[in-house]
C-alpha cells in the first residue's frame, strides 16, 4: 500500500479572467482593510515598498519586506481595477470632505 494518494483540487490558472459584481459597501470594506493594514507599517517603509513596486524591484528589498510589497501591490491593483470599473459604469459620485488647511 502506498504512503500517498492522489486528490483533485480546483485551481484557477494565472491567465484566467472573470467578472464579478462588487457593491460600494464591499469596496469600502476593502479600502478600510487596505488603510488599516498599511497604516500599521512605518510610513517611510510604505514609501520604500511603493518605490520598489513602481520600479519592479521587489526582489531587491530585504526578504522580510518582500511579502509586504507584494501585498501592497496586490491590494493597490485590486482597488485601482475596482475604481476603474465603478467609473466606467458611471457609478462614481462626487462627495465633499473637509480637510485641514495646510500651513
CA angle 26, 46, 98 (to 5 degrees): 55
| 3-state secondary structure string across the chain | CCCCCCCCCCCCCCCCCCCCCCCHHHHHHHHHHHHHHHHCCCHHHHHHHHHHHHCCCHHHCCHHHHHHHHHHHHHHHHHHHHHHHHHHCCCCCCCCCCCCCCC
pLDDT band at 29, cuts 50/70/90?
very high
Counted domains in the chain: 1
Give the residue numbers spanning the domain of 75: 24-88
- pLDDT tens profile 72-95: 888 888 888 888 988 898 988 888
Tell me if 67 is assigned to some domain.
Answer: yes
Query: Is the model's pLDDT at 103 over the cut of 70?
Result: no
Tell me if 71 is assigned to some domain.
Answer: yes
Tell me if 72 is assigned to some domain.
Answer: yes
Tell me if 68 is assigned to some domain.
Answer: yes
Tell me if 44 is assigned to some domain.
Answer: yes
Closest CA to 68 of 77, 78, 58, 57: 58
Q: Per the structure block, which three cell numbers stand in for 88?
A: 466606467
Q: What are phi and psi of 83, to 5 degrees?
A: -55, -50
pTM score over 0.95: no
Amino acid at each position: 500500500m502506498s504512503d500517498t494518494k492522489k486528490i483533485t483540487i480546483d485551481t484557477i490558472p494565472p491567465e484566467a479572467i472573470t467578472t464579478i459584481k462588487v457593491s460600494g459597501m464591499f469596496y469600502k470594506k476593502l479600502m478600510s482593510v487596505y488603510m488599516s493594514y498599511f497604516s500599521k507599517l512605518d510610513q517611510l517603509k510604505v514609501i520604500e515598498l511603493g518605490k520598489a513596486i513602481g520600479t519592479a524591484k521587489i526582489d531587491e528589498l530585504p526578504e522580510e519586506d518582500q511579502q509586504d510589497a507584494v501585498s501592497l501591490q496586490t491590494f493597490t491593483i485590486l482597488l485601482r481595477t475596482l475604481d476603474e470599473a465603478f467609473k466606467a459604469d458611471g457609478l462614481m459620485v462626487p462627495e465633499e470632505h473637509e480637510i485641514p488647511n495646510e500651513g
